[in-house]
Structure formats: C-alpha cells, structure tokens
Amino acid sequence: MPDSTPIKDAAASSPYARLEQRFRRLNALSEAQEVLHWDMSTVMPRGGHEARAEQLAELAAVHHALLTGAETGDLIAAATAETDNLNDWQRANLREITRRYVKATALSEDLVTRLSRAASACEAVWRDARAANDFKAVEPYVAELLVLVREKARAKADVLGLSLYDALLADYEPGGRSAEIDAVFGELEAFLPDFLGEVLEHQARGPGAVLPAGPFPEEKQKALGRRFMEMLGFDFHHGRLDVSLHPFCGGTPDDVRITTRYDESDFTSALMGVLHETGHAMYERGLPKDWRGQPVGHALGMSVHESQSLLVEMQVCRSRTFLDFAAPVMRETFGGEGPAWEADNLFRLYTKVERSFIRVDADEVTYPAHVILRYRLEKALIEGDMEIPDLPGAWNDGMERLLGILPPTDTLGCLQDIHWYDGAWGYFPTYTLGAMTAAQLYAAARNQNPEIEPAIGRGDFAPLMAWLRANVHGKGSFETARDLLIAATGEPLNPKVFENHLRTRYLAP
C-alpha cells in the first residue's frame, strides 16, 4: 500500500495545500456538530432543544457555505491540473474532496438549514411519541421532513445522474447502488425463510436458554461493559460511555462518544450494545492519524463502519470462543451462580433465534428481515410510491410477511428507530451489507492469522485489532469499499460467506 505520510515540503500556497487547510476548518465544524448532537441525545435538558436546533442549523449553514464557495471550486480545478505533484494519498484526498464538493453544491444553503431545523424538531417530538405510542403526534413533523428529504434527493439526483434513492444512499455508501442491493437482498430473502425454520426446529430440539436471575444494577452493568471495552482496546482518555434512548457512536476520532441503554432485569442487551458501539469506536480511533481532518482520513462509508461493529458484536462476542472466556467474568461481576451462568447457556442465550419486533435486539438470523423491510419502505417513501400516513400499516404488513409477526403497537413498529425522524434517509441497507462484510472480513482474518481466535479465547483482542488496523481502519477512505474488501479477503462482497457463517453457527450439532 502506498505511503500515507503527507508531503511535508509541499508549497503552503499551492492550490492543493489551501484545499487541505479549508477542509481542516470544515472538519472542525463537523466535529463540533457531532459533539453537540451527542450532548443533545444524552445530557442536554429538554428546555434546551429549541436553542440547540438553531445552533446546529447555523453550523450546518456555515459548513455548507464554506464547502460550496466559489473558491473551493477554483482550488479543486487548480489542484486537479497539478496532480503530478501529489502523492497517492493526496490524490485520493483530492478525489474525496471533489466528491463532497459536487454533492454539496447540488443543495442550497436554505435547504440545508431547513433540513437541519426540521430534523431537530421531528426528533424531539419522536422521543415523546415513541414513549406514548402516538404516531399521530409525530406524523406531521416526519411528513414535513420527508418533503425536504425528497427535495434534497431530487437536487442531488439531477447533479449526480442517479435515482432519487441512490442520490441519498451516496451520503452513506459512496458508489452504492440500489440495483445491487436489490439483488443481494433478493438472495437473502430467498435463503432466510427456510433457514429460519430449520434453525427454530434445531433449537427446539435442544435445551432452552435461561436468562440468569437479576436484578442487574446499572452500575455493575456499566463496569462490565467498561471492562470488555478496555480488553478490546478502547482508550477512555479518548472516549466515553454514556446512556441514551437509542445506542449510538458519535464524537470524533480523538474523542469517541458511545452510548447504550440499561435494563436492570436483563444485562445481556446493554452489554452487546456496548460491544457493538465499541466496534464503531475502534474503527474511528484506528483511522490514519496523518490524515486527521481530511476526507481521505474519514471512515469508508457505513457498510464498512457497520461491519466493524457487527464483527465485534456478532462475529466475535457472540461466539462460543469468546463466551467461554467471558462467562466467568460475567458471573463474577454480578455474583451469579448455577447453570444459567455457564458458557453453554450463555451461548444459547446470545444465539437464541426468535421472531421479534425490535431491530436493535434482533438475532443474527432475523435481523436482515428487519433491514430489508426498512429499506423497501424508505425507498418507496423517497420515490413517492408511499406517503407517511401509510407507514404504520405498511410496516405491519411487511413484518407479517417477512417475519410472521404483527406489531401490537407503533412503539414496537414504525416508531422504534430514530433514523427517519432524525433525517437519516437512505441509511438502512448498510446494516445488512455491514453484516455480510463483517462475516467476510472475520473469515479472512482467521485464515490469514490462525492465532486470532485462540487469543480471543484468552481475552486478548490485540491480534484481531492489529489485522483490522492494517486491512481496514488504517486505510481510511483511500480506496473504495469494493477494493478494500478484495484486498483484505480476495473477493468482492459474497453473500455466501455470510450464509455459511449462519449455517455453521446455528445448525451445528
């Protein structure tokens, strides 16, 4: 791989050097927005929401104006004419700068500001509506937001030459296309129903999983989560663990903020939430330090980002190898005793498959159905084939068709996820693309370094993290997701690897 060190003696006044300076400023604005979003979701008093919405809207406007200014376009043109003077990483950075500029210039500052304000207002109402099972309360807000999202999609589609959905997908999955997603999801949809039936029959023949008896005090759950985070390599000098309504990872590579939510009657969900978000955090912390603040130093789209969280949570921390190590640690933390605390039972508990309503708590086998549903619904909404008042009914119909269950409330249905109500449209397919990428990366990592799995069995994640640093984290956005996966695993995304993983884990004797 080419040297990632920036050219130190490049003329400070060259067009490319001035672009780097401009994007360092843009990155600082983006990082300020990230921390304000984290604060809003965790500790901000409710009365501060209106002021925070205005702050975020103004920051979005300033960021957009700086990014789309005429000088940015002039500098890009001048730097493009002098690429012979740039090294490979600088050329990749210029490519990413240009991509961001082209996308941003499709949108007016007014639209960016209106979208930010509408998303903040909608999210605030959603929080109460979700708790009250009151879709009608948030319906006008999300309907107004969707109007703006469609306006954004049309503007970007015209400039990028893409469909409405693909124009929004480009924000989360550069180079991604819904036609390719349709093909992959079609294969999964053909595979999953019969496989789900086989797994349910297989598990019914064996001993059932037993949830250890609580209560599990929040402070002890937090201590357990922190202990495993440190084993994974999380640096608390550069990050935090907090509580929010919806678990997430935010902040900046040097100040990573992750959250979870606790249930004192069941420690298992919060712990896996922590481990999932720690996978995201380790990716952020491992991004190339020499390129902090530049587009090429950022994470490579959301499918790769989700692959890092799902590799840690699903591939590793729900494995029998890890749970053999973790079971005594869990038992010691909560003072538990008896068969429910044995690794056999905890493995059954963490790999239990069932049809359920909540995506973030879903098992590995049924999770793709949750994502396929959301992907199809948001695509229909964005493209105008469906309107917001139709969402609850369409959601319930899809759940019944894909999983054979009917949500009894909208809280367990279309109100459960924050994404649409926070303005994130075109995001959902990256979750399952990430799951498939995770399976492929972890299989390659174990094949290339046979010491990775035995080390995990000792609570040592260093060999795995070293492989990820070299093959994923440290590459930033130097290459495309497809090229990164080929370089790391020898082939582009292959759904069969994910299917084989599921067969091995869930149908083994």
277 catalytic residue (yes or no): yes
Q: What does the alpha-carbon distance between residue 245 and residue 255 come to, in Å, rounded to a whole number?
A: 21
Cα–Cα dist 218/200, whole Å: 32
Q: Fill in the amino acid letter for 405.
A: I
Which of the following is catalytic: 277, 284, 306, 378? 277
- Check if the beta carbon of residue 118 is closer than 8 Å to that of residue 145: yes
Side-by-side strand order, sheet with 249-252 = 239-243, 255-260, 249-252
Distance CA 119, CA 113 (A): 10
List residues bridging with 257 in a β-sheet.
240, 250
HSE at residue 194, side-chain half, CA atoms within 13 A, is 5
| 77: Cβ contacts below 8 Å, ≥ 6 apart | none
Is residue 284 within 8 Å of residue 253, measured between CB atoms? yes
Give the position of tokens 């009365």. 47
Sign of the C-alpha dihedral computed for residues 241, 243, 248 and 250 taken in this order? negative
Report CA-CA distances (Å) from 287 to 52, 296, 354, 382, 411. 29, 10, 36, 33, 37
Q: DSSP code of 164?
A: H
Handedness of CA 336, 339, 340, 345 (dihedral sign): positive
Give the 3-state secondary structure percentages of the chain, helix then strand then coil, rounded to 5: 70, 5, 30
Strands 249-252 and 239-243: unpaired
The residues assigned a catalytic role are 277
